[in-house]
């Protein structure tokens, strides 16, 4: 199933140049499995035509409260009762001020006011000039709308249509989609603080060469996203990978195993869950050359001496907080063969309650994976699926285990 399967979204457009982004958002919502009913203000229709949104949503677009297609002339009731959520994107400063005061002089604002507030959430994606965004009145309105139960997304930063640069841009469609998907996920980790490591480490030989591995970081990034979706505060310590940071996650970039160890030590004190997904290099070069190591005509390989890197997971698992149950540790094992045997041995050696194993060569760089969960009671397979799907399943498993701690 897609992320928004069986969800019916009313997509509202208020007036603003960001209406052009609503077309792509509508398309993305449909692609994610949702049915979409578009409702526009008359001002929005000055920026993008209803015909465009009708083609993308495959549904008639509503603009006027007096639309004769509704037999009872109550579009604001009929449309709001069918919705799983009302998403207003763009939400202009004027429209948000209108909502704050309960004004309802067009179909979209009337529908937001008339929705069953206990079961139809209102999600707003603000879009306006940077000065309008920073104005105290706008910030007060945002705070009060949040207090009244609306879910107000943040804004983007960058060049604006007016030629100025700053905060106030509407988020990109994929960012709004990610936020909406997260909104619907069960909040099984609410109140938890999760620290995740992800990706490879890079151990320098000289200024231009180094030792690393094939870990893409995708599994760890998916776990960070799934934990954030589940309501946790998440810090992601990421090795050298080129992946976008999941929305709502604080990212700390590192390169080497020693840098990763230092970052973990800095943040683990506030964590209640530690998930060590990173493929940390076992060894590093003892003496990194200050200049590029040149080959000569001797045919001899350069002499490199290695030292063992610290075991980050084992170190955390042996801490007083982990042993007392205040910190729940999850380890990962990327193996090439005999997965159950090696994962079981690694769990016991590291001293963690849960060890997640996978076959590295079968998953590095890919968007899917298959996992083996190993704990004191035995093992459980999570069949091959997308890494985000598996991450959500793992988060559910962690939440159930936390209840027993």
**Which residues are annotated as catalytic?**
162
In whole angstroms, what is the distance from residue 366 CA to residue 364 CA?
6
Contact between 197 and 237 under an 8 Å Cβ cutoff? The reply is: yes
Q: In 72-217, which ranges are continuous DSSP H helix? A: 75-82, 93-100, 107-114, 130-134, 136-147, 173-184
State the DSSP H helix or E strand holding residue 21, giving kind and residue range, or none if neither: helix 19-31
Contact between 89 and 21 under an 8 Å Cβ cutoff? The reply is: yes
3-state DSSP assignment of residue 90: strand
Name the one residue in this structure whose structure tokens are 């202009």: 92
In our burial notation (b when 16+ CB lie closer than 10 A, e otherwise), range 120-151 reads bbbbbbbbbbbeebeeeebeebbeebeeeebb
Using alpha carbons only, how large is the chain's radius of gyration in Å? 25
In whole angstroms, what is the distance from residue 405 CA to residue 401 CA?
7
Which residues share a beta bridge with 228? none
Which residues share a beta bridge with 157? 167
């Amino acid at each position: 199933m897609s992320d928004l399967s069986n969800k019916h979204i009313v997509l509202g457009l208020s007036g603003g140049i960001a209406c052009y982004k609503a077309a792509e958002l509508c398309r993305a919502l449909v692609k994610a499995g949702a049915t979409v009913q578009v409702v526009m203000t008359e001002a929005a229709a000055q920026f993008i035509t209803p015909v465009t949104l009708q083609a993308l949503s495959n549904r008639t677009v509503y603009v006027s409260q007096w639309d004769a297609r509704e037999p009872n002339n109550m579009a604001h009731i009929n449309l709001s009762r069918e919705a799983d959520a009302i998403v207003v994107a763009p939400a202009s400063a004027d429209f948000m001020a209108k909502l704050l005061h309960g004004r309802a002089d067009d179909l979209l604002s009337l529908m937001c006011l008339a929705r069953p507030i206990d079961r139809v959430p209102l999600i707003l994606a603000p879009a306006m000039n940077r000065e309008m965004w920073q104005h105290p009145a706008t910030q007060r309105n945002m705070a009060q709308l949040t207090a009244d139960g609306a879910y107000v997304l943040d804004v983007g930063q960058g060049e604006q249509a007016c030629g100025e640069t700053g905060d106030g841009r509407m988020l990109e469609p994929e960012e709004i989609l990610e936020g909406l998907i997260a909104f619907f996920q069960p909040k099984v980790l609410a109140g938890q603080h999760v620290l995740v490591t992800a990706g490879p480490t890079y151990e320098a030989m000289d200024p231009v060469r180094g030792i690393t591995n094939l870990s893409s970081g995708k599994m760890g990034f998916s776990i960070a996203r799934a934990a954030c979706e589940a309501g946790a505060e998440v810090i992601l310590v990421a090795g050298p990978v080129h992946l976008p940071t999941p929305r709502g996650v604080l990212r700390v970039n590192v390169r080497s195993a020693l840098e990763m160890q230092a970052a973990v030590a800095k943040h683990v004190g506030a964590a209640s869950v530690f998930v060590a997904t990173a493929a940390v290099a076992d060894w590093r070069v003892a003496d990194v050359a200050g200049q590029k190591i040149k080959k000569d005509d001797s045919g001899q390989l350069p002499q490199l001496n290695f030292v063992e890197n610290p075991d980050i997971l084992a170190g955390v698992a042996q801490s007083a907080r982990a042993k007392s149950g205040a910190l729940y540790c999850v380890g990962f094992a990327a193996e090439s063969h005999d997965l159950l045997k090696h994962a079981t041995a690694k769990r016991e050696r590291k001293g963690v309650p849960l060890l997640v194993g996978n076959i590295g060569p079968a998953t590095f760089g890919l968007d899917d994976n298959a996992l083996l969960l190993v704990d004191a009671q035995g093992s459980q397979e999570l069949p091959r699926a997308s890494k985000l799907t598996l991450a959500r399943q793992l988060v559910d498993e962690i939440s159930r285990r936390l209840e027993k701690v």
